[in-house]
A and B are shown apart, each in its own frame.
Chain A
């Protein structure tokens, strides 16, 4: 029995170590590639492609007006942008705020914004997007969340990438910004930083990518052809990414610190857990749905399976951490077994060090100030954060097992928003230039 316990300890230690090593690899993947691969183009082509921007919003009265304004005032000809604010019929507050903003913009000569209201169920993001899709008239469809701060040049970036590289799907960077607003925010910010800046590049290169929920750009005809989004899925973005990968469509990821869409971390721990639970459960749903099985090669299927199954592994990891804490103090094991069982600890140290450097890189890239207190907070929050993630993953597993799959919405307070980005001064000139 004791030998069996040792064998199990060794097996799990090696498994966790391998998993951690792989995570470390994809986390840093971009930094081992030539820098130009991930960057946005150095020069922009003249605007040619037109964009339909979908802004799905629910109870976003606080932020929707600013978001609409930022999209409309982007450095791109207004006649090449269509904005659709997508709301369910019961969300009077958001609809009213959006319409108020639309009236104001019309007074300034911007007539390219409208509200799409859907009346049927389910009330969730993918259903709203599908409801709005028939109203999209432009070449490229993109989604921004209601709280997003987009970069004014994001359309120029995507227009240039799509035109020069002849790709039909582009995932641009999304970045949480308020790294110092709560004990967990720095770690949450880093997850986005590494996910969009590095991991997505790896997945795109391997042809098995789970896309993000916003700042993703689709050729409209392609989007219609694959039937839009899966309305039953809590992570419709991951699902559509894998479906597109299954068709062999080349997906380009552009993460350039200068052009990221800025977002905020969930304002409370409860909100954070709900958001993370939704993501984990969405991955489990996508895994069970089997979209990944349609990927062309075994390597791609394996990678997609691994990515989607990770939340369940993470939940298991939480249990393993508890188990190892108990055994650390209660079980006297042979030295060789003990040495192997310390391997995951070593990987944890590596990931922590990478996080510290990542936070430094993030703050440097965005002109933010990193203090020693931030680093101390990061160190103190590190382990509890892993436990919270494991808890959310476990919660997702339980919800899925019990058949609970309602959308737990994340509240937005605009903590990431500083002063408004300077609006384009030369919209008219750009339109004239494009003409």
Chain B
């Protein structure tokens, strides 16, 4: 090709043995560059939309934070483990058996350590964890907003996605709780956000890999998001000179963090079970084992997500059927659009596969706890945002301009103001009267506060107590402290507690503090007879000395008579 300017000499062709540098802009960078101005800078409207998202997230999740929902066993477990990190330099006050990677409560421990009054800063120790969850939620709102904005190139998708992420009762209920899944979502969203942040992504890939690695050691199921995030990185760097380096750095960074968990177990001599015995018929004899625990978890099976009594039907759908139904439909549309045209519909492919991956995890038929739905919420919200954005903008121009503003506003108003929407207002099931949704209305944790107060007032600190994890730190960290209080799960499952502290006998128990549903859990958990001595104490040798209830929440304290 002749040079256009005769004064300019083209480079010589003498370097015939040298392969020219690969030129060209990465496909995804082109895609991102081609997006609207909102892609690069927020602008006035963007800032307003982001501010609305953050403020609404603060209000929906911050209001009523300490009073609803009830402090859960799992919240208690993570707070007590953070307490053990700070006070006992251990990963758990009892035997740590690798049920979860410790990243989540190590982060909580750092937070608690930094607070001026540590666990007591906001009253009940779980509350300080919930404040962390509020901050984490706000950060996640920001990441979700920016991810949706960068993948769609506009403001409609992030506004819709963050609205659902903030207002869905399903989201508010679980995202207020001090759970590893909420922390994990934060790290996953950060990992994705970093890959979309800048035009050049080499070191962003490193940070993204680190964030992803932290997400996995916070909650292992984050690993299900790995294919999509890695594919996004691949697309972001495809054709760029940094492509191979970026991919390598991401894998290295994520792998380094995850391998630290395995290294920890190796250094403790707890990677493999004794005699390499992976038999699932009995626990490892001698010491705990990371690989055994992973093996055990992989082989656990507890019904399916779609069975009538599953959490899907008993807990998730009643809280927000619209998000779940709309999210499923939007996921399928996203997958279709993304798969049909991977080059142009990268955002759909990313959002659809993210939702699909965690959906697959939930539907695979292993043990599901109610809060496992948490990572599905932002991914469904993202899918709905992107699909709604595409659908409304696909309308004819005069209609689309109106529809883009009116349809989302109308949908939001219906969800918020109509009882059938249920986001803000619902009908009371007993009276049929209109009332705010429980997440903004029903106080519950005061029952647990009263239970703790009664124990402090009436039970001596030297008493040997079996309680639930949700009040464990309150009893150990507060004044007076109850050093001989053990969580019922450990009292049943951990030989170091069951046999050495309680000697497996009801006579060594002074009090049993029942949390909501704890008795049922004891019965269900008693497959190997490990709960027998607790049930014996409860059924045959104890007297109820305190009780409180509200709705279907029942708390009690039993004194064991000898």
Contact = CB atoms under 8 A, between A and B. Distances in A.
Given A25-B203, A353-B252, A32 B18 contact: no
A152 B371 CA distance: 67
Interface residues of B, number: 36
A153 B14 contact: yes
A151 B15 contact: yes
Nearest to B5: A43
Contacts of A33: 200
A40 B264 CA distance: 48
B268 interface: yes
B260 interface: yes
B396 interface: no
Contacts, number: 116
10 contacts: A33-B200, A34-B200, A40-B11, A46-B7, A46-B9, A258-B18, A339-B264, A350-B256, A361-B245, A422-B14
Contacts of B14: 75, 151-153, 421-424
A62 interface: no
Nearest to A419: B17
Given A28-B245, A353-B252, A360-B244, 18 more contacts: A28-B203, A31-B245, A31-B246, A32-B203, A42-B11, A43-B8, A152-B15, A258-B20, A346-B256, A349-B256, A350-B249, A357-B248, A364-B19, A365-B19, A367-B17, A418-B17, A422-B16, A424-B14
A156 interface: yes
Interface in B224-239: none
Interface in B49-90: none
A333 B15 CA distance: 57
A156 B203 contact: no
A433 interface: yes
Contacts of B11: 40, 42-44, 153, 156-157, 258
Contact of B10 (A43, A259, A342, A418): A43
Given A25-B203, A46-B7, A156-B9, A259 B245 contact: no
By Cβ-Cβ distance, the 10 closest A-B pairs, closest first, are: A31-B242, A32-B202, A152-B14, A75-B12, A43-B8, A367-B19, A44-B9, A153-B12, A357-B244, A31-B202
A373 interface: no
B267 interface: yes
A361 B9 contact: no
Contacts of A357: 244-245, 248
Given A46-B7, A357-B248, A366 B267 contact: no
B391 interface: no
A430 B9 CA distance: 10
A335 B18 contact: no
A403 interface: no
B263 interface: yes
Interface in A420-435: 421-424, 430, 433
Given A32-B242, A75-B14, A360-B244, A39 B252 contact: no
B18 A367 contact: yes
B240 interface: yes
A421 B185 CA distance: 57
B18 A44 contact: no
Nearest to B247: A357
Contacts of A35: 21, 23, 240-241
